[in-house]
Amino acid sequence: MKTRKRKGDSAQAHCVRNGIKIYPVKVNGNWYIEVDNNGKLKRYPKIIKKKGMLRIKHLMNPVTLTYEHWSKKIEDQLNETDKGNNNT
């Protein structure tokens, strides 16, 4: 069951509490963002770093933006569910 974002929560905390983990993966020398949504994996096609070492400066913005996107997606789903429950 999905939970709402608590006051003071970061997008990351909200996502992790709802079973969503976001992390970098290396495939054929390139780095991508992968999302584990309760065991269902999704890898984004955009390369966040080509070849070589992944440094924190390459990682933080894409991961942060992805956590914010998924946190908003969770809230939108909860709002849709609330609307559906109010109409019945």
**pLDDT digits over 6-24, tens only?**
666 788 898 999 999 999 8
Residues 26, 54: Cα–Cα separation, whole Å: 9
pLDDT tens digits, 45-81 = 988 877 766 666 656 788 888 999 999 999 888 888 7
Of the two residues 28 and 55, the one the predictor is more confident about is 28
Whole-number pLDDT of residue 56: 63
Whole-number pLDDT of residue 64: 86
The token duo for 3 is 């939970």
Q: Any residues with CB less than 8 A from the CB of 20 and at least 6 apart, and which?
A: 35, 36, 37, 38, 70, 74
